[in-house]
């Protein structure tokens, strides 16, 4: 099977259009579905108790990741928020505080931790995993634009306004494309209304994979399909990680990320 190595193998990339942007209203349904699906999610793989640190997206806080963290706690994990308030982009004080939080959680549990990031939060997760490969067990991102053109999103102007950082500098964006050396999963949606989905497609290797779900950008972190996939990924034995298995019923719920589409 051929696995695309670069975003441009999927065709032209541009920021999502008005139709997909309008579909972001699905977040309301996704929040409700996450609770209605609790009986089914109760069958999701149980965890081994290792710690998990979750990073929120741009202009979001730990409140946005609380439902996911509660689900993970129910699966047996020690789930933590980043405790840095509203995510206004990478700033020196915030980044240093995150580094200390990773070290503190590692020391407290005496176990490597998994990092999960929603949108911009996924950039934090990937970059800290590169910085602390001995402390990080795995990485999962949700709708994170780590590759492709930096302006292929509907949030780049807001990002510049909030962070006061100009995007597009090669010395900043090129390194983001390099994946961590630990098992890494990118969960994305081709109907994401904020980020061009090609920006979230990782080159597949024995340690790097993509999982496609049907979700909005604002709802991917509370989508029940995302939650099940996260539980499955986190339950992989340390040192014996295997790619997500789409066989059986899962093939009807999780699309083949390597298929070609017109959008």
What pLDDT, on the 0 to 100 scale, is given for residue 12? 58
Domain presence at residue 222? yes
Task: Give dist(CA 113, CA 126) in Å, integer.
Answer: 13
Residue 135 has pLDDT above 90, yes or no: yes
In a domain, 250, yes or no: no
pLDDT at 263: 66
Global pTM exceeds 0.85: yes
pLDDT score at 13 = 76
For residue 56, give its domain range: 48-233
pLDDT above 70 for 7: no
Q: Quick check: is 5 in a domain?
A: no
Residue 68 lies in a domain: yes
Mean pLDDT (whole number) for 69-85: 98
In the structure, what pLDDT confidence band is assigned to residue 165 with cuts at 50, 70 and 90?
confident
Please tell me the least confidently modeled range out of 1-5, 115-119, 150-154, 217-221: 1-5
Question: Which distant-in-sequence residues (6+ apart) come within 8 Å of 65 by Cβ?
Answer: 54, 55, 56, 81, 116, 118, 121, 221
CATH of the domain at 197: 3.40.50.1820
CB 124 within 8 A of CB 117: yes
* Over residues 172-196, mean pLDDT: 94
- Which run of H or E residues covers position 202? none
* Domain-located, residue 260: no
Mean pLDDT, residues 44-59: 97
14-41, pLDDT tens digit by residue?
A: 899 898 899 899 999 999 999 999 999 9
Q: Is 35 inside a domain boundary?
A: no
Q: Is the pLDDT of residue 151 over 60?
A: yes
How large is the angle between the packed helices 62-74 and 26-36, nearest 10 degrees?
A: 20
The alpha carbons of the chain give a radius of gyration, in whole angstroms, of 17
Examine residue 256 and state whether it is found in any structural domain, yes or no: no
Lowest average pLDDT, out of 1-15, 105-119, 203-217, goes to 1-15
**249 in any annotated domain:** no
User: What pLDDT digit, counting tens, does each position of 225-254 carry?
Assistant: 999 999 999 999 999 999 999 999 999 999
pLDDT of res. 261: 74
Reported confidence tier of residue 149, pLDDT bands at 50, 70, 90: confident
Mean pLDDT of the chain: 92
Report the pLDDT value the prediction gives residue 5, as an integer from 0 to 100: 43
Count of domains observed in the chain: 1
Output the pLDDT for position 20: 87
CB 196 within 8 A of CB 13: yes
Instruction: Evaluate if residue 2 carries a pLDDT over 60.
Output: no
């Amino acid at each position: 099977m051929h696995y695309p190595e670069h975003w441009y193998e999927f065709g032209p990339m541009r920021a999502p259009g008005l139709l997909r942007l309008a579909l972001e209203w699905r977040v309301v349904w996704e929040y409700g579905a996450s609770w209605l699906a609790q009986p089914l999610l109760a069958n999701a793989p149980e965890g081994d108790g290792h710690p998990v640190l979750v990073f929120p997206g741009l202009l979001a806080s730990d409140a946005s990741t609380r439902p996911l963290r509660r689900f993970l706690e129910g699966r047996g994990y020690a789930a933590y928020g980043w405790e840095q308030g509203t995510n206004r982009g990478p700033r020196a004080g915030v980044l240093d505080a995150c580094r200390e939080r990773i070290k503190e959680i590692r020391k407290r549990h005496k176990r490597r931790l998994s990092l999960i990031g929603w949108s911009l939060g996924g950039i934090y997760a990937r970059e800290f995993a590169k910085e602390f490969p001995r402390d990080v067990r795995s990485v999962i991102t949700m709708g994170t634009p780590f590759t492709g053109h930096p302006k292929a999103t509907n949030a780049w102007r807001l990002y510049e306004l909030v962070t006061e950082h100009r995007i597009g500098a090669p010395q900043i964006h090129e390194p983001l494309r390099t994946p961590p050396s630990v098992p890494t999963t990118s969960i994305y949606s081709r109907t994401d209304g904020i980020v061009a989905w090609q920006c979230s497609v990782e080159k597949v290797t024995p340690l790097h994979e993509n999982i496609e779900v049907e979700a909005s950008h604002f709802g991917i972190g509370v989508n029940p399909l995302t939650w099940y996939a996260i539980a499955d990924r986190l339950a992989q034995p340390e040192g014996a990680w295997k790619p997500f298995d789409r066989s059986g019923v899962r093939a009807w719920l999780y699309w083949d990320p390597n298929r070609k589409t017109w959008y």
